[in-house]
């Protein structure tokens, strides 16, 4: 086996949303850049996404909705989004104002009220950014995974990678930006942090994000965040539904926060409405219901729409066409019986519905245990439905602890009292690891249980991380 040695100013690890953005920005700043991509194509999970680049309009909204993230980092993303949209337009990328049509045919305004939102076409976007990097003198090497970081003392000085031909590739660089997209593709790490029952999780993401950035950074002393068990995702139709990457969007249920979610014992296990975006419900389905739940609702909800994510009946029928288990009954008696046939304690389920209906009819859902704080509408208009769902993990939220410039903090030189829940303590200096940066999902201190957009973080922090790398080099 031969070892090829190259020198670059900046190496970017991962050619997904954050990595491609970082690569383009690096060429604009005059850096000699190499973007390594483990997969067979660039684009990462962004390539599979709905392409809605969104975050909250204001930092106050972000704090209210995502209270456990780092306030300064969140501010960086919220305030950096409009300039980043302008920057994309300057590259010739059309960032369309919603409403826009999704690949599933639905028309989308914004994923949640109060969002600042633009829309890209993932495939064209990926091609455009890759071409910009190459035209700017950089390179994007697919099927070339980083294996580890190279260090000189406490400083990161490059990466070790493997080429598409299986040869060793050593790249010496002033800076490395990790943009490997989290660890949801790694069964061992999922079992360690998220749930022992990984067989009851769909992977709703690219298959190559297996925590390589996290592992390599930890090996050189990087500080990690809390919230390692939390993830962004949705509940999808459960097996026997056939969920493949081209169907992630069409089999995502979205309407969980409006339904009643029960487990196989027929009991509610969480406040379904804690988040409009279904991600807290998906996490609780994994953690509290062993990865198997049923969304129960009536014909009123069936005929309704989820904000802008489309007609609920259409989502249900589409799921049924793909093999999802959908129980439908014209009376509660028949519903109870059919639930038993589906493996759910039907008597308990109907009792749960009675109790729920009584509470929400008088606006007292918050007195239920678990409470129902929002969308308090009774389930009482036949036919009744139950759709079997299983959580799909799109990305893990915990990860590397960075500063507002995307510099990865050093575990050995950061106070152990600094928790992500509390944000930065301004009075304590945290030292970064020289030469090491992160962007996108690899950053762990933006989201924690709650979520403020995935593509927006990757867009804003992809740019920021490279700008910091170039600035730090000059100083």
Ligand X SMILES: Cc1cc2nc3c(=O)[nH]c(=O)nc-3n(C[C@H](O)[C@H](O)[C@H](O)COP(=O)(O)OP(=O)(O)OC[C@H]3O[C@@H](n4cnc5c(N)ncnc54)[C@H](O)[C@@H]3O)c2cc1C
- # residues contacting ligand X (CB under 6 A): 42
Contacts 24+ apart (CB under 8 A), 314-319: 314/106, 315/250, 315/252, 315/253, 315/254, 315/255, 316/385, 316/387, 318/104, 318/250, 318/251, 319/237, 319/241, 319/251, 319/253, 319/387
Binding span for ligand X by CB under 6 A among 41-49, 284-292, 315-323, 423-431: 41-49
Least distance in angstroms from the C-beta of 130 to ligand X: 12
Interface residue with ligand X, options 112, 206, 352, 448 (CB under 6 A): 206
Within positions 372 to 401, which residues make up the interface with ligand X, using CB under 6 A?
A: 394-395
Smaller CB distance to ligand X: residue 266 or 454? Answer: 454
How many whole angstroms separate alpha carbon 233 and alpha carbon 220? 30
12: β partners: 35, 177
Place of tokens 């807290």: 280
Which SS3 state, helix, strand or coil, does residue 51 take?
coil
Taking CA atoms, 153 is separated from 149, 172, 194, 433, 468, in Å, by 12, 14, 33, 10, 21
13 sits near ligand X (criterion: CB under 6 A): yes
Q: What 3-state DSSP class applies to 456?
A: helix
If binding is defined by CB under 6 A, does position 112 make contact with ligand X?
no
Work out which of 38, 268, 450, 464 binds ligand X, going by CB under 6 A.
Answer: 38
Among 10, 24, 34, 46, binds ligand X (CB under 6 A): 46
Peptide bond into 28 cis (omega under 30): no
Among 110, 179, 379, 386, binds ligand X (CB under 6 A): 179
Beta carbon nearer to ligand X, 257 or 453: 453
The closest of 23, 36, 15, 53 to 206, measured between CA atoms, is: 15
Question: By CB under 6 A, what part of segment 125-164 binds ligand X?
Answer: 145-146
**85 vs 385 by CB, closer to ligand X:** 85
Closest distance to ligand X from the beta carbon of 348 (Å): 33
Cα–Cα distance, 51 to 133 (Å, whole number): 20
In whole angstroms, the minimum distance from the beta carbon of 142 to ligand X comes to: 9
Which of 156, 438, 441, 465 is the binder for ligand X (CB under 6 A)?
441
> Which residue of this chain has its Cβ atom nearest to ligand X in the complex?
16
For ligand X, which is the closer residue by CB, 93 or 455? 455
Q: Which of 10, 33, 39, 399 binds ligand X (CB under 6 A)?
A: 39
CB-based burial label for 256 (10 Å; 0-12, 13-18, 19+): buried
Candidates 8, 25, 150, 204; binder of ligand X (CB under 6 A) is 204
> Which residues are CB-neighbours of 198 under 8 A, at least 6 positions away?
187, 190, 191
**Which residues on neighbouring strands pair with residue 333, listed in sequence order?**
none
Contacts with ligand X by CB under 6 A lie at: 13-19, 36-39, 44-46, 48-52, 54, 145-146, 179-181, 204-206, 208-209, 212, 248-249, 394-395, 440-441, 453-456, 458
């Amino acid at each position: 086996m031969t070892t090829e040695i190259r020198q670059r100013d900046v190496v970017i690890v991962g050619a997904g949303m954050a990595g491609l953005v970082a690569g383009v920005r690096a060429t604009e700043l005059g850096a000699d850049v190499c973007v390594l991509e483990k997969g067979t194509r660039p684009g990462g999970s962004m390539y599979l996404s709905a392409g809605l680049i969104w975050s909250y309009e204001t930092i106050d909204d972000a704090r209210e909705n995502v209270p456990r993230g780092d306030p300064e980092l969140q501010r960086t993303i919220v305030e950096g989004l409009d300039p980043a949209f302008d920057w994309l337009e300057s590259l010739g990328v059309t960032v369309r104002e919603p409403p826009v049509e999704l690949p599933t045919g639905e028309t989308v305004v914004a994923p949640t009220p109060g969002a600042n939102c633009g829309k890209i076409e993932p495939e064209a976007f990926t091609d455009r950014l890759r071409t910009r990097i190459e035209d700017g003198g950089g390179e994007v090497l697919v099927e070339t995974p980083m294996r580890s970081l190279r260090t000189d003392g406490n400083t990161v000085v490059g990466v070790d990678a493997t080429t598409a031909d299986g040869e060793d590739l050593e790249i010496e660089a002033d800076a490395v930006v990790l943009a490997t997209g989290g660890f949801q593709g790694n069964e061992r790490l999922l079992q360690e942090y998220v749930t022992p029952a990984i067989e009851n999780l769909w992977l709703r993401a690219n298959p190559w994000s297996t925590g390589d950035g996290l592992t390599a950074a930890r090996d050189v002393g990087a500080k990690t965040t809390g919230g390692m068990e939390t993830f962004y995702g949705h509940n999808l139709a459960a097996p026997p539904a056939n969920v493949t990457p081209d169907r992630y969007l069409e089999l995502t249920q979205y309407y969980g926060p409006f339904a009643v979610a029960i487990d196989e014992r027929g009991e509610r296990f969480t406040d379904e409405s804690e988040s409009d975006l279904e991600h807290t419900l998906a996490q609780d389905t994994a953690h509290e219901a062993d990865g198997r739940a049923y969304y129960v609702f009536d014909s009123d909800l069936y005929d309704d729409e989820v904000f802008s994510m489309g007609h609920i009946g259409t989502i249900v029928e589409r799921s049924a066409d793909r093999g999802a288990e959908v129980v439908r009954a014209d009376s509660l008696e028949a519903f109870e019986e059919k639930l038993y046939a589906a493996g759910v304690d039907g008597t308990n389920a109907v009792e749960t519905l009675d109790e729920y209906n009584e509470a929400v009819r008088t606006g007292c859902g918050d007195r239920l245990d678990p409470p129902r704080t929002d969308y308090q509408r009774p389930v009482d208009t036949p036919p009744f439905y139950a759709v079997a769902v299983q959580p799909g993990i799109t990305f893990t939220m915990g990860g590397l602890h960075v500063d507002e410039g995307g510099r990865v903090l050093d575990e050995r030189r950061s106070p152990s009292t600094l928790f992500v829940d509390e944000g930065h303590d301004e009075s304590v200096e945290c030292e970064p690891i020289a030469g090491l940066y992160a962007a996108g999902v690899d950053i762990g201190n933006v989201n924690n249980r709650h979520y403020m957009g995935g593509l927006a973080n990757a867009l804003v922090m992809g740019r920021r991380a490279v700008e910091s790398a170039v600035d730090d080099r000059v100083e």
